[in-house]
Amino acid sequence: MYTSRGERKHDIASEHLSTHEVKPGLFMILVSKAPALVWEAQMTGTGKLGQLVPKQPWPYVNHYSFHILDPDWGHLTIKMSGHPPFGAQAMLNGHEYVACQAQKAGIAFTKQDNYFTTVTNATDLAKVADTLSQKQTAGRLLQLCERWIYTTCLCFALDLEEQKRSVFHYQYSVSQVEYSRNLLFQSGRQMDQIFQALIDRTRAPLDLDRVKTIFGDKKRPHYDKRKKNPTRWGVVVETPTYDLTVFKVHYGKMTLKIYTKGERVLRIEVIVHNTKAYRWGRSLPCFPEIVDRLKGILERFLNAVGCVAAGFASAAPLENLPQPVQVGQTRVGGIDLNQPRMRWVAAAVLALSTSPVGFTASDLAQKVRAMSGQPEAEYGVRRAACTPRQPS
């Protein structure tokens, strides 16, 4: 089936899967144009065949997307160029793998597109997902590619006899990886409130130094010949559709994203767009190490977001602060931050809180007087001693 520019091939195949009963194996081939490496034979001055040189720029040629249903990995796509050397890309979805393995383990779940909506045993499902970061995963990926690429895809260009005679063989590397974590909420309204509050509180505090720490780039500088341009970075909020908000943090060839999936799923994911830009290694055996690195980046990001959010209080506690409360047997007044003196006290307590040995009422009184310019008669030790008894 030929497709036009802008059509999402994966969505076409997914719709076919949802409306037809498909057995394991090849179920659809889609054709589209894309740039590819094409070799051109040059002729010598005497009319003989000369050396092979790549065409520049790369011409647009037919690419064939082989959509396959694998019993262990679910829906996968192998996109192959129609010209020698038949460059190929294998595209997998980890959610498909987790769903297949969960079914074999007897874990009940419901799934929509590439996310889970309900799970009966989240702990066991997480254990299944963690197997993707094991060292054995590189071997499983190699077996998967070898299982399909020669007998199902390349055979349309070179039959098995020609493959054997020419000793044609692929070497595999990792180009792009996404690592995500999904948070399933019971209430979609609660999810939207938390997500919007997270965007408002996190966008400003994420400066360059903190972003470098999150992405693991806090190291001694070194000279890198491949880095021709300075590392791009930025924190942006996008609204591609009316009901979708995407919070992004860009740094070099990596991106962190937070966005909603469906009504009750909040997804946090980190993407490395091109592993060639980093010193991680990109051969297939390096896949588990790359996943571990992305997992560390995502966890540092969640910790940074949690620390920023912990410093904020909701509107209800702030509104109730001026109200008197009962502390043990004593009724004490509230904290009215509209009063200048109370703001000085709060600022003084915050400044003294970093002292490793604590502080006394005398220290508090002295700090308040230094900040406000009040004499000791207006704010002395006795008045400062009453302040800590007020609720915080």
Kindly state the average pLDDT of the residues 98-122: 87
β pairing state of 49-54 and 60-70 = unpaired
Q: What is the pLDDT of residue 392?
A: 43
Asked if residue 263 lies in contact with residue 243, where contact means CB atoms within 8 angstroms, the answer is no
Q: How far is CA 375 from the centre of its chain?
A: 55
| Same-domain check for residues 84 and 151 | yes
Domain check: are 16 and 63 in the same one?
yes
> Within a domain: residue 215?
yes
Q: CA–CA distance from 390 to each of 125, 205, 219, 273 (Å)? A: 47, 30, 45, 53
Residue 32: strand pairing partners:
63
Predicted local confidence at residue 211, as pLDDT: 82
Poorest-pLDDT segment among 8-12, 88-92, 172-176, 340-344: 340-344
Contacts of 337 (CB under 8 A, 6+ apart): 318, 321, 343, 346
Q: In the predicted model, what is the mean pLDDT of residues 143-159?
A: 92
CB 381 within 8 A of CB 365: yes
Residue 102 lies in a domain: no
CATH code of 241's domain: 3.30.530
Q: Are residues 286 and 333 in the same domain?
A: no
Is the pTM higher than 0.75? no
Residues 22 and 143 in one domain: yes
Query: Rounded to whole angstroms, how far apart are CA atoms 339 and 1?
Result: 73
Q: What is the mean pLDDT of residues 123-151?
A: 91
DSSP E strands, the chain: 25-35, 39-43, 49-54, 60-70, 74-81, 88-91, 109-112, 115-119, 177-184, 233-241, 244-251, 254-261, 265-272, 325-327, 330-332
What pLDDT does residue 151 have? 92
Residue 20: pLDDT above 80? Answer: yes
56 lies in the same domain as 33: yes
- The chain-wide mean pLDDT, for the chain, equals 84
One domain for residues 269 and 383: no
116 domain residue, yes or no = no
Q: Is 99 part of a structural domain of the chain? A: no
Question: To which residue do tokens 């004490």 refer?
Answer: 332
Residues 328 and 308 in one domain: no
Answer yes or no: do 251 and 355 share one domain: no
Residue 319: which of 336, 296, 295, 343 has the closest Cα? 336
**pLDDT higher than 90, residue 26:** yes
Residue 103 within a domain: no
Identify whether 60 is part of a domain. Answer: yes
Confidence of residue 101 (pLDDT cuts 50, 70, 90): very high
Q: Domain boundary at 260, 278, 312, which?
A: 312
Whether 190 and 324 map to the same domain: the answer is: no
Q: How many domains does the chain have?
A: 3
Last residue of a domain, one of 279, 312, 345: 312
Cβ neighbours of 261 (radius 10 Å)? 19
For residue 204, what pLDDT is reported? 67
Are residue 141 and residue 53 in the same domain, yes or no?
yes
256 and 141 share one domain = no
Alpha-carbon distance of 94 to 103, in angstroms, equals 14
With contact defined as beta carbons under 8 Å apart, do 268 and 306 qualify? no
Report yes or no on 127 lying in a domain.
no
Among 63-72, 131-140, 189-198, 326-335, the minimum mean pLDDT is found in: 326-335
Please report whether residue 125 resides in a domain: no
Alpha-carbon distance of 191 to 197, in angstroms, equals 10
Range of the domain at 363: 320-389
Reduced to 3 states, what is the DSSP secondary structure of residue 224? coil
Please tell me whether residues 360 and 237 are part of one structural domain: no
**Do residues 238 and 246 make contact, with C-beta atoms less than 8 angstroms apart?**
yes
Which of 273, 290, 312 terminates a domain? The answer is 312
Most confident range (mean pLDDT) of 37-46, 83-92, 210-219, 352-361 is 83-92
